[in-house]
Amino acid sequence: MRMPLSAAIGLFMTALFFAAAILAPLIAPYGMAEIVGQVWEPMSRDHWLGTDNIGRDLLTRMIYGGRTTIFVATAATLLSFSLGSFLGFTAAVAGGWVDQVLSRFVDLMMSIPSLIFALVVLSVMPVTLPVLIAVMGLLDATRVFRLSRAVAVDITVMDYVEAARLRGEGRGWIIFREILPNALSPLVAEMGLRFIFMVLFISTLSFLGLGVQPPLADWGAIVKENREGIVYGIPAALVPAVAIAALAISVNLVADWILNRTASLKGGRGD
Amino acid sequence: MTAVHPVVRLLAQRIALGLVLLWAASVLIFVGTEILPGDVAQSILGQAATPQALANLRADMGLDRPPLERYLSWLGGAVRGDLGTALSNGQDIARAMGQRLSNTLFLAFWAAVVAVPLAILLGLVAVRYRGRWPDRLISGVTLATISIPEFLLGYIVIFFLAVEFRLFPSVATIHSGMSLADRLNVIVLPALVLVLTVLGHMMRMTRAAILNVMQSAYIETAELKGLPPFAVIARHAFPNAIAPVVNVVMINLAYLVVGVVVVEVVFVFPGMGQYLVDHVSKRDVPVVQACGLVFATVYIGLNLLADVIAILANPRLRHPK
Amino acid sequence: MTDAVLDVRGLRIEATVCPPGEQPRDAVLVHDATFRLGKGRVLGLIGESGAGKSTIGLAAMAYGRGEVRITGGQILLNGRDLRAAGPAALRGVRGRQVTYVAQSAAAAFNPAIRLMDQVIEASLRHGLMGRAEAEARAVALFRTLGLPDPETFGRRYPHQVSGGQLQRAMTAMALCPRPGLVVFDEPTTALDVTTQIDVLAAIKTAIRETGVAALYITHDLAVVAQIADEILVLRHGRMVEHGETSRILHAPREAYTRALVAVRRAGGPGRPPAAPILSVEGVTARYPGLRQDVLSDVSVSVAPGRTLAVVGESGSGKSTLARAITGLLPPAQGRIRFAGRDLSPALAGRSLDDRREIQMIYQMADVAMNPRQTVRTIVGRPLELYFGLRGAARDARVQELLDAIELGEGYGDRYPAELSGGQKQRVCIARALAAKPRLILCDEVTSALDPLVADGILRLLADLQAREGVAYMFVTHDLATVRAIADSIAVMHRGRVVRQGAKEAVLSPPFDDYTDLLLKSVPEMRTGWLEAALATRRMGSAGH
């Protein structure tokens, strides 16, 4: 199937954001914390996006902020994904009490909204990047656990998995050759959605002042720094917020496409 | 009939399960704040604190007692409505929270009053024109609102409606002396943002739930009886769509509870969310615990309500064999 | 001719289909269908899946499911062209002049509304009668259709009555508004054979008493032989043959019809028994967490190179027996002996060789093969696992096996989704054969297939048995299959074996009650069988 235009745009934009994050020191016009002008200068030739609340170049701040946001979100996604899918598959294949214990614990974790849970934990933990990544990753692993367990349970009841067990295949073959190839597409699509959620999560925490701490800044923190300007009609705070939305929408478009492709493959499996 | 009706039995089970979950959540909150690595007293006072000050604070907070004992006295107090006193200003938490909780519920209530019917209406429109432009337009717009963080929506709304056009106040100050009309005027913008944030999810899920019902074989049966479209929907689709739609609504009201935290900060609205965030920054653990417990209660309660309505709406359970 | 209820001329039906990995395109489902149906006549529409029979049935109500569109021809109902009618006019016709009975009544009834309200809904909506009159008519129909407690039956909800009763209630719903035409869309296909005969008889009685015309859609010639005055044979959306029922059954003109009629041939005589390779001795089993035994004290045996057919209805425990033999459901009591040794009850305790020697073929070939593996991987894996074959040696053996199942060159690189239903089942057979087993458990292997395709599979299995000397345990609900393939038979009912022995002995009198009922319920392809079967059954019950 050809890639639809929306997915192509999404993929291009996502790649652009990641490239900017990785190459930040090379492409940023000024230093991250360098004060280069007046407070809240409007957009100009020297400062494409203007300056921020203490006169730093906003484009530079945005590029470095994106680097932080994307790094934290990616790390948390990887953590939540590897942990969640490992435990989810284990629960589905092992069944019995292992499944019961894991599933009930996840039910419990999910009975408290994750933002609230994160705030409760962050009230006593030191707010550093590793702690943020760990808290976000662990809380979100519950969702990945639910999905990967559901997908794997759907697959383990298939006759071809039973046939493999009857044949005498080991657990490794069953997980990696029978289950995983069939579970991959929905999980990859979910990974996109989890990444978006992580971007929104870290931005929200930073916006509340409980995420990335100065002098480092991510997009959420840049919104917070410049929020006072809004009431004077200065849109500096909107710039990072728009970047967050653009990244989220781009990844969403790609994830949607992957999900649709999975659905049509499923349709082809029957008659 | 000597046996208990299955609906009663199921309801009792669900409510018991909800209580167990709530209890377990209280354990989780307590463990999350008091037993995790990291010293509460240290994190409150910072690295420069003297050993004497640390010891005093620990004794004040009862940190020298065993965790189980502290948990039981905390839970016992919470059940009686005594949430302890705040570390930062020594106020009684339950009293400080009362007015804020009612402010938050006021805001969430009006957001829900607008969002729920609107989401269901848009869901119905999307189903009615499935695959055609109204459906695509609604899907596209809701995809965008799902991807936009609440604070962006908040500042866009403030930027245009409060600063550029000066239609509504950008800061939502509210107190008990205000008339209902004044209070409503104050919460228009925060409520609007809340509506926009939950609308996307709610509408998409409503659409999926109704589509699922509309694709059932009994809908085809009704069409083949020559029933007009309205009768098909009202008589055959609606009774079966209640449970899934209510479920969707409840799940999204639970989202709304979380969305409130950010929206209150954006609009400086004196509610529960603002209260929680302030005291997380101050590392005021008793307040954070109390807020966490209240949010978890509301969240679990809404999910429980969804379960209960789904059970009551299921004909198989209402009329057992 | 004015007496035709339904007159279809040059009907053409198209749909937009989306094959996986391709652009959507339009496909023609029905080409140029032309037939007439007189008052009170019953026309049987017969064909394989995809023949377009249900599509034509719904077109008689000018209705297309999903993306299905009627693009050509005329549909004259009582002389009026439905294609020219607008939506409001169509609503006036549907549920009034023509009504519908679906294959799955369980899905077609609204779970939230009492049966009576659904049965009389169309009559009230079209203003044909008042509520009291409609309810009285519904009760009378319930009685005609042999439903229990006809006075109070309508107060129940759909989930409170059985599948066979729902199918009859749906018939009552279709007949209530006194339509001129009823479309029956495979109304008995989902039912067990002993239930099917009652529902079939009830439908036939109701049709006769109300004098309604009917389109009766089925894939089962024996069923349609009981109920239809004339038969229309369809294939790939085209009309093959149309004629009086007895003419189609006894003097079919077209090759395809002849093949359909001939498919239910009787098999040869059963071969003599020999020392068993598998013997199941006194096995009792239950699923974890359930109180009821699914198998109680079951003993059966299979001889080398022979076929045992285990026959029974849904819930009889026949598939569970196969699971117990594989080790997936370890028996609570009893033992399973294979080739002179005791098999470990649980799968985990069995050696690789134990597993190799007993292979299994499933009912749904679709889900029995990993959709992400090619045919070569699927068939080659047992060769790697059991015989250590690799690379070219493995590929050569895979090709031999594909030749043995009559699949040509180039199939090795295909994925299951690229195969037809019959081809998928053949690949599953090749996978089983690759292990060089001594026993293959076949769980309803033909019941998801169209009759002609199923016949090909049965023939292939018989050939392979002659060549390889492998024994089969054939689990099935279909007595025609049993007759064609079995050497010995075990009849199961509610978890017990009620009768077993050589084929001839099991199928000859004197019978036990259940086997008698089962045998008499299997439709035969001659007119008048239904009445005769019901008559002997009544005599039998009068005798008790």
Is A116 within 8 Å of chain B by CB? yes
Is A244 within 8 Å of chain B by CB? yes
Cα–Cα distance, B294 to B26 (Å, whole number): 10
Q: Residue A237: which CATH number?
A: 1.10.3720.10
Instruction: Assess if residue B122 is contained within a domain.
Output: yes
The sign of the torsion formed by the CA atoms of C143, C148, C152, C156 equals negative
pLDDT tens digits along A66-80: 888 899 999 999 999
* Binding-face residues of A in 148-207 toward B, CB within 8 A: 196, 200, 203-204, 207
Which is nearest to B71 in space by CA: B109, B33, B115, B41? B33
Is A215 within 8 Å of chain C by CB? no
| SS3 of residue C14 by DSSP | strand
Instruction: Assess if residue B172 is contained within a domain.
Output: yes
Cα–Cα distance, A238 to C312 (Å, whole number): 71
| SS3 of residue C267 by DSSP | coil
Q: Which residue of B has its CA nearest to A256?
A: B143
Which one of B36, B143, B258 has the shortest CB-CB distance to A252?
B143
**Of C110, C117, C121, which to mutate for an interface test with B (greatest number of B Cβ within 10 Å)?**
C110
Angle, to 10 degrees, between the axis of helix A114-122 and the axis of helix B285-312? 160
Cα–Cα distance, C234 to C223 (Å, whole number): 16
Q: b/e string for B288-312 if b means 16 or more Cβ within 10 A?
A: bbbbbbbbbbbbbebbbbbbbbbbe
Average pLDDT over residues C301-321: 90
Give me the residue label for tokens 């064999």: B321
Which is nearest to C360 in space by CA: C335, C324, C334? C324
| HEC string for A212-262 | CCCCCCCHHHHHHHHHHHHCCCCHHHHHHHHHHHHHHHHHHHHHHHHHHHH
E-only strand ranges, chain A: none
Domains, chain C, with CATH or none: 4-265 (3.40.50.300), 278-508 (3.40.50.300)
Which is nearest to B296 in space by CA: A137, A109, A146? A109
Contact B23, B300 (CB under 8 A): no
User: Which tokens in the block code for residue A38?
Assistant: 């007046």
DSSP string, C295-355: EEEEEEEE-TT-EEEEE--TTSSHHHHHHHHHTSS--SEEEEEETTEEPPSSGGG--HHHH
CA separation, residue B22 to residues B29, B75, C90 (Å): 10, 11, 56
**pTM of the full structure:** 0.79
Which is nearest to C437 in space by CA: C272, C345, C326? C326
Confidence of residue C18 (pLDDT cuts 50, 70, 90): low
pLDDT tens digits along C160-199: 888 889 999 999 999 999 999 999 999 988 888 888 888 8
Cα–Cα distance, C258 to B18 (Å, whole number): 65
CB C370: neighbour CB atoms within 10 A? 24
B-chain residues near C108 (CB < 8 A): 217-218, 220-221
Q: Residue B127: which CATH number?
A: 1.10.3720.10
C-chain residues near A169 (CB < 8 A): 385
User: Which tokens in the block code for residue C502?
Assistant: 């050589």
Q: Please name the residues in contact with B193: beta carbons below 8 A apart, sequence gap of 6 or more.
A: B150, B153, B154, B157, B263, B266, B267
Q: b/e string for A53-87 if b means 16 or more Cβ within 10 A?
A: beebbbbbbbbbbbbbbbbbbbbbbbbbbebbbeb
pLDDT (0 to 100) of residue C123: 94
Shortest Cα distance from A248 to chain C (angstroms)?
Answer: 28
Report the range of poorest mean pLDDT among A89-98, C62-71, C261-270, C510-519. C261-270
Which is nearest to C47 in space by CA: C322, C231, C203, C279? C231
pLDDT tens digits along A241-259: 888 888 888 888 888 787 7
**Of A17, A112, A238, which to mutate for an interface test with B (greatest number of B Cβ within 10 Å)?**
A112
Shortest Cα distance from B171 to chain C (angstroms)?
Answer: 49
pLDDT (0 to 100) of residue A270: 29
Cα–Cα distance, C217 to C228 (Å, whole number): 10
| pLDDT above 80: residue C458 | yes
Q: Do C366 and A271 touch (CB under 8 A)?
A: yes
Contact C476, C310 (CB under 8 A): yes
Q: Do C65 and B220 touch (CB under 8 A)?
A: yes
CA separation, residue A73 to residues A116, A126, A136, A208, B143 (Å): 18, 19, 9, 17, 20
pLDDT (0 to 100) of residue B172: 67
pLDDT (0 to 100) of residue C115: 94
The H or E element containing residue C7 is: strand C4-17
Q: Do B222 and C159 touch (CB under 8 A)?
A: no
Which one of C49, C347, C369 has the shortest CB-CB distance to A160?
C369
Shortest Cα distance from A232 to chain B (angstroms)?
Answer: 7
Report the range of poorest mean pLDDT among A44-53, B149-158, B204-213, B261-270. A44-53
CA separation, residue A178 to residues A98, A183, B269 (Å): 21, 9, 53
DSSP string, B8-73: HHHHHHHHHHHHHHHHHHHHHHHHHHHTSSS-HHHHHH-TT--HHHHHHHHHHHTTTS-HHHHHHH
CA separation, residue A201 to residues A107, A195, B58, B208, C371 (Å): 20, 10, 33, 26, 37
Instruction: Assess if residue B58 is contained within a domain.
Output: no
Higher pLDDT, C485 or B58: C485
Shortest Cα distance from B254 to chain C (angstroms)?
Answer: 28
pLDDT (0 to 100) of residue C49: 81
φ/ψ bin of A96: left (φ > 0), alpha (ψ from -120 to 50), beta (otherwise)? left
The H or E element containing residue B278 is: helix B272-281
Cα–Cα distance, C253 to C47 (Å, whole number): 16
pLDDT (0 to 100) of residue C116: 95
Cα–Cα distance, A25 to A17 (Å, whole number): 14
CB A157: neighbour CB atoms within 10 A? 11
Contact A266, C417 (CB under 8 A): no
Instruction: Assess if residue B126 is contained within a domain.
Output: yes
Which is nearest to A112 in space by CA: C503, B30, B279, B168? B30
DSSP string, B228-255: -HHHIIIIIIHHHHHHHHHHHHHHHHHH
Higher pLDDT, C28 or A126: C28
Those chains having 3 or more beta-carbon pairs within 8 angstroms of chain B are: A, C
Cα–Cα distance, C103 to C95 (Å, whole number): 17
pLDDT tens digits along B284-320: 888 888 888 888 888 888 888 888 888 888 777 778 7
pLDDT tens digits along B60-106: 666 667 778 778 888 888 888 777 777 777 788 888 888 888 888 88
| pLDDT above 70: residue C2 | no
| SS3 of residue C120 by DSSP | coil
Domain residue limits at B116: 98-283
Cα–Cα distance, B210 to A17 (Å, whole number): 37
Q: Which residues pair with C241 in a beta bridge?
A: C233
Instruction: Assess if residue B109 is contained within a domain.
Output: yes
Cα–Cα distance, A194 to A206 (Å, whole number): 18
| SS3 of residue C4 by DSSP | strand
Rg (CA), chain A: 22
CA separation, residue C213 to residues C6, C43, C159, C225, C232 (Å): 9, 8, 30, 16, 15
φ/ψ bin of C507: left (φ > 0), alpha (ψ from -120 to 50), beta (otherwise)? alpha
* Mean pLDDT, chain A, integer: 83
Q: Residue B48 — φ and ψ, nearest 5°? A: -80, 0
| pLDDT above 50: residue C82 | yes
Shortest Cα distance from A228 to chain B (angstroms)?
Answer: 10
Q: Do A122 and B280 touch (CB under 8 A)?
A: yes
Which one of C22, C350, C370 has the shortest CB-CB distance to A160?
C370
pLDDT (0 to 100) of residue B39: 61
DSSP string, C67-102: TEEEEEEEEEETTEEGGG--HHHHHHHBTTTEEEE-
Is A134 within 8 Å of chain B by CB? no
* Mean pLDDT, chain C, integer: 88
Q: Do B149 and A241 touch (CB under 8 A)?
A: yes
Q: What is the DSSP pairing of strand C98-101 with strand C295-302? A: unpaired
Confidence of residue C474 (pLDDT cuts 50, 70, 90): very high
Q: Which residue of B has its CA nearest to C104?
A: B217
C383-388 long-range contacts, CB within 8 A, separation 24+ = C383/C434, C385/A167, C385/A168, C385/A169, C385/C352, C386/C352, C386/C356, C386/C435, C386/C436
pLDDT tens digits along A11-43: 898 888 888 888 878 877 777 777 777 777 777
Confidence of residue A265 (pLDDT cuts 50, 70, 90): very low
| pLDDT above 50: residue B201 | yes
Domain residue limits at A234: 5-270
Rg (CA), chain C: 26
Instruction: Assess if residue B75 is contained within a domain.
Output: no
Shortest Cα distance from C316 to chain A (angstroms)?
Answer: 21
Q: Do C367 and A268 touch (CB under 8 A)?
A: no
Q: Do C371 and A265 touch (CB under 8 A)?
A: yes
> What type of residue sits at position C32?
D
Tally of domains in chain B? 1
CA separation, residue C251 to residues B94, C219, C228 (Å): 91, 19, 16
* Binding-face residues of B in 195-254 toward C, CB within 8 A: 216-218, 220-228, 231, 235-236, 239-240
Average pLDDT over residues A141-161: 89
Shortest Cα distance from C108 to chain B (angstroms)?
Answer: 4
Provide the Cα torsion B224, B228, B231, B234; round to 10°: 100
Give me the residue label for tokens 């990993």: C370
B-chain residues near C160 (CB < 8 A): 319, 321
Q: Give the ipTM of the model, two decimals please.
A: 0.80
Shortest Cα distance from A251 to chain B (angstroms)?
Answer: 10
Contact C141, C147 (CB under 8 A): no
Chain C residues within 8 A (CB-CB) of chain B? 61, 63, 65, 90-96, 99-100, 102, 104, 107-113, 121-122, 125-126, 156-157, 159-160
Instruction: Assess if residue B279 is contained within a domain.
Output: yes
Contact A64, A24 (CB under 8 A): yes
Give me the residue label for tokens 């929680």: B276
Instruction: Assess if residue B271 is contained within a domain.
Output: yes
Q: Do B285 and A123 touch (CB under 8 A)?
A: yes
